[in-house]
Amino acid sequence: MISVVIPTHNRADLLPRAIKSVQAQTYTDLEILIVSDGSEDNTQEVVEELAKDDNRIKFIEYFPARGGNVARNTGIENASGEYVAFLDDDDEFMPEKLEKQMAVMKSDPQIGLVYTGVKVIYANEGVEYASVPKATGDLSSEILLDNIIGTTSTVMARKELLLQAGGFDVQLRALQDFDLWIRICQLCKVGFVPEEMINYYNYTGTKQVSALTNKYIESFAYINKKYNDMLNALPKEKQREKKYNEYMLLGNKAMRNGDGKLARRFIKAALREIKSKKAIAYYLLSFCSYKTVLKLRSCF
């Protein structure tokens, strides 16, 4: 019923944790598709060892590396299941994730995507906090304003809808999940599991895509052009809210990269759209270390 797609690139050290978290699922009618995006480490040997006692594991590899979007699309195309769930190679599922998502999916035939809550873990800083879903139903307009669904690791969707939506846009270097959710939300209703069902790991000080501000700036520009007609059709106050959310995210990324000056530029732009206590607080926090920002965020 469910194909779990795990894209990976030279993460043989982290990959077993992700795979084992799928093997431990209470919902067992599944396959595990490991898609190696040009890995040059011992990824294949690691997967083969875990597959010895589990014939649900299937390994796909290609060379050279073509990026996470191509890897996920390759997984979707090769999926045997009616539903596809995604898991990044450095994240992990909680044991009941797929079972609870399937229950929500089966509760309403109009639901085509189900996401879950997340425990966000900053491994280097020893900081973690929860992000719990709030939006459900017809999100076709609301998703334009912000990525309220979140990271790919939380999502399970009907394979036919992923194909109908066109899969992940290979032109995007960041925000590829946000872009795909926009398209899928035009096709179906969305459900959620209101619990933390994945551990989502962040590693500051690495070249993880979410740590590169410029990729986000470029990707927002690309998405805004791509959905220009839909965005222009929104009421003016919603257009301001969309711009506010965009500037706040860019400000946060700049803070993460240690560029307080750039962060303040984006936060000022956000304040020009919407005056908020959150934006003012982020402006003040931009003078502090990102670890301080994370610790304060984990308190709320």
pTM attached to this predicted model: 0.95
The CATH number of 2-202 is which of 3.40.1280.10, 3.30.360.10, 3.10.690.10, 3.90.550.10? 3.90.550.10
Q: What angle do CA 209, 243, 222 make, to 5 degrees?
A: 50
Per-residue pLDDT at 124: 82
Question: 10 Å Cβ neighbour count for 164?
Answer: 14
- Strand duo 111-122 + 57-62: pairing: unpaired
Per-residue pLDDT at 207: 53
The residue type of 217 is I
Alpha carbons 53 and 49: distance in angstroms, whole number: 8
Torsion sign across C-alpha atoms 112, 28, 116, 89: negative
Residue 238, sorted as left (phi over 0), alpha (psi -120 to 50) or beta, turns out to be alpha
Per-residue pLDDT at 50: 96
The residue type of 50 is L
Alpha carbons 8 and 173: distance in angstroms, whole number: 16
Per-residue pLDDT at 204: 63
Per-residue pLDDT at 286: 93
Per-residue pLDDT at 211: 54
Distance between start and end Cα atoms, the chain: 38
Per-residue pLDDT at 4: 98
Per-residue pLDDT at 285: 93
Asked if 33 and 58 touch (Cβ cutoff 8 Å), the reply is yes
pLDDT by residue for the chain (300 residues), tens only, comes to 999 999 999 999 999 999 999 999 999 999 999 999 999 999 999 999 999 999 999 999 999 999 999 999 999 999 999 999 999 999 999 999 999 999 999 999 999 999 999 999 988 888 899 999 999 999 999 999 999 999 999 999 999 999 999 999 999 999 999 999 999 999 999 999 999 999 999 876 555 545 578 999 999 999 999 999 999 999 999 999 999 999 999 999 999 888 899 999 999 999 999 999 999 999 999 999 888 888 787 666
User: DSSP code of 112?
Assistant: E
Domain boundaries, the chain: 2-202, 235-297
The residue type of 61 is E
Asked if 204 and 211 touch (Cβ cutoff 8 Å), the reply is yes
Alpha carbons 18 and 260: distance in angstroms, whole number: 34
